[in-house]
Structure 1
């Protein structure tokens, strides 16, 4: 039986697409190895990036003006929201879809026949057909790809009460020659804070065990007492490797910001358009993706000691330019202006390194290459 849409993968992107396609009356089949697996990761977003249909119950906490530290303190004039992962998953209802617990191993599309059926072969050997098949299976890990790594602890609010979007103050015990990391501290609702030592994109990735040591050192310096029974959050995923295309979505379709790791809000916001068959890859979006990829190369080329100064310059940008770079998926002018303004605000000695990396010239690193940008999942 041929259906309207097959969605391969039921993470946040795939589930959002299936949910919105059902809302628009499409017949949907969803394929995932473990479709009932509960989401335990922490997802967050800028509030103004979210579509209007998001259920209020899916939001666990809102930070009106998150704090960032480079070498000095900044207040970001942009509300930041943290999802209740289980509530978000439940709100993206796919009960009207045919859900198959299996792994998609091959997606086939007709060549030279517009409007022909597409198919998915499952690991069981079953073949499914549909008018459209969307790959939302994410991106596989590879040593060649930069990855986000983080180690976090969940603590009661009485032990921590200041939301920190990122904090570069040098009290985590990292040696000057090591790849850097920062503290990410956000409320999760229920009188709980997540305190997380984060390296958003490293090649090679900073190991979780090293991030754990840094987090414990940082918290000890700040007088935070731990019991040893705190819940732990581990984070590790690629921040590059997706390929733009009409039949890929979420991280697989390069909706993940290659220089920051943001993806959930972009996928939620784009789900309606893709469900109706609209293109998510206009020329403007492709140009922005190229600029952001160049930005990732620049960040990877930074000497670790220069990361706090880099973010002094970034958070010193006008809020509109910060938003253009972090969220303007089709805003070519805003993205280019943000990058140019940031470049001019940096110390002169950094500009040559970043300029060479932006255009793809080889870089010699004395330390592991590590991109360090505002956290998001």
Structure 2
């Protein structure tokens, strides 16, 4: 260590690390990308302050979204026809897979990568400086650190408990259940029940705020969940494993140098991102662009969909989803999963608009939701 007395600056020796790719962040997206880069024979450096930290969240996806390379053993449970309760009961004709989080982590093996257990502080085009001053150099640098929370960004929040299947036997697997038996005031922001099997005789029951700015907090969601379950004959004893969820659904910036949530892979209107990142990992590892113009247009249209959800009066949200789940399955799939399917997304949104009651159509127009690509999706400036 030396000191420039004139400038009063202390200089520390810097260690340089060179690789084909440097990945910052080891959430599901970053770990999946590192895993697939190693499978392609690339040299990989990963930077994360807690690289061995296991994930605790529950991840799920539509079965047709998952890439072929993913180990089939990570599928904890499959619901062939999940239910969506809006103003009435809908069966979604599309298998839904709940992933085994621990097995997913293990399957995305990153043995062979150089691991720097520090925080990435400064990211350049070919270099990353860590909290200790280590400089990692690579042909490419990818930011997969997620999105920092901000009051300006809409968030998704949830509070859930894990119960044994016998206690949850009276509740069928639900993609979302908007029925008003959670004790909330009719004019209060809405939340829904998410109920899925986890395998191993367990079930997750989770009260979810789909998107809010601000979103409902965990205290309110817990009270609603307990009220809802009590009304259905399920009493909690406080010994249940708890799952808490809170993350922004806005703020990603599509581009070659970012991946996962940081790179715009979160579906703005649903909060789903893991399957999209898993599917795109091979293309990103190969250096291909995963943001062609069609994908950017789809992202803008989906962001407009989020604006509608944030604008709708609480009592109209189930009506909105009732219209969505009456759409043919291919159109539902296009909107939920077609990341670069511009024609399918626009067709789905136009069909949804036509299916809405006239009063909700006016709300949609006020919120600025384009009815087709020709009407010009709004700019994502500042997100």
TM-score range, shorter chain: over 0.9
Aligned counterparts of 2:369 and 2:299: Cα–Cα separation in 1: 14
- What are the residue-to-residue correspondences of 1:74-85 with 2, within 5 Å? 74-85=90-101
Q: Which moved more, 1:242-251 or 1:221-230?
A: 221-230
Under a length normalisation based on structure 2, what TM-score does the superposition of the two structures give? Answer: 0.91
> Is residue 301–residue 369 contact of structure 2 (8 Å, CA) maintained in 1?
no
Secondary structure of 2:238's aligned partner:
coil
Does the 8 Å contact 2:29/2:274 carry over to 1? Answer: yes
Structure 2 stretches lacking a partner, 5+ long: 1-16, 371-383
Unaligned stretches of 5+ residues in structure 1:
110-117, 361-377
Q: Work out which of the residue numbers 261, 272, 288 in structure 2 matches 1:262.
A: 272
Q: Is the 8 A contact 1:188 1:194 kept in 2?
A: yes
How far, CA to CA, are the matches of 2:300 and 2:64 in structure 1?
24
Structure 2 residue 88 is matched with structure 1 residue 72: yes
Correspondence for 1:97 among 113, 117, 122: 113
Distance 2:174 2:362 in 1: 31
Which of 140, 150, 154 aligns to 2:162? It is: 154
Map of 2:353 onto structure 1: 343
Looking at structure 1, the residues matched to 311 and 363 of structure 2 have their Cα atoms a distance apart, in angstroms, of 7
Q: 1:124 aligns with which of 110, 132, 145?
A: 132
Does the CA contact (< 8 Å) of 1:244 and 1:281 recur in 2? Answer: yes
Map residues 305-320 of structure 1 onto 2, 5 A cutoff: 305-320=315-330
Shift of 1:58: 1.0
Asked if structure 1 preserves the Cα contact closer than 8 Å seen for 2:21 and 2:141, the reply is: yes
- Once residues 184 and 225 of structure 2 are traced to their aligned partners in structure 1, the CA distance between those partners, rounded to angstroms, is 10
1:199-348 matched pairs, under 5 angstroms = 199-348=209-358
Deviations 1:224-269 (A, max 9, x none): 1222211111000000100011110000000111111110000000
Q: Give how far 1:321 is off.
A: 0.3
- Selected match of 1:18 from 34, 38, 41: 34
4+ residue segments displaced more than 4 Å: none
Distance 1:68 1:349 in 2: 23
Number of residue-to-residue matches in the alignment:
352
* Greater RCO structure (CA 8 Å; 6+ sep): 1
Kept in 2, the 8 Å contact 1:74–1:315? The answer is yes
- Checking the alignment, whether the CA contact within 8 Å between 1:295 and 1:358 is kept in structure 2 is no
Q: Give me the TM-score of the superposition, normalised by structure 1.
A: 0.92
Matched residue of 2:139: which SS? strand
Q: Distance in 2 between matches of 1:280 and 1:247?
A: 11
State the partner residue of 1:372. none
Rounded Cα–Cα distance in structure 1 between residues aligned with 2:132 and 2:99: 35
- Asked if 1:2 corresponds to 2:18, the answer is yes
Give the CA deviation at 1:359: 4.9
Q: In the aligned structure 1, how far is the partner of 2:167 from the partner of 2:343?
A: 43
- Residues 4, 132 of structure 1: 8 Å contact kept: yes
Residues 21 and 140, structure 2, Cα contact 8 Å, conserved in 1? yes
For 1:159 and 1:233, locate their aligned partners in 2 and report how far apart those are by CA, in whole Å.
17
Q: CA offset at residue 294 of structure 1?
A: 0.7
Q: What's the CA shift string for 1:88-127, capped at 9, x where partnerless? A: 0000000110111001111112xxxxxxxx0001011111
Give the CA RMSD over aligned residues: 0.9
Structure 2 residue 198 is matched with structure 1 residue 188: yes
Structure 1 position 56 matched with structure 2 position 72: yes
C-alpha separation between the residues in 2 aligned to 1:108 and 1:225? 53
For 1:366, the equivalent position in structure 2 comes to none
Conservation of the 8 A alpha-carbon contact between 1:299 and 1:354: no
Query: Could you tell me how far apart the structure 2 residues matched to 1:170 and 1:132 are?
Result: 50
Matched-pair contact (CA < 8 Å) for 2:162–2:203: yes
Q: Distance in 1 between matches of 2:286 and 2:18?
A: 18
1:312 is displaced (CA, Å) by 0.7
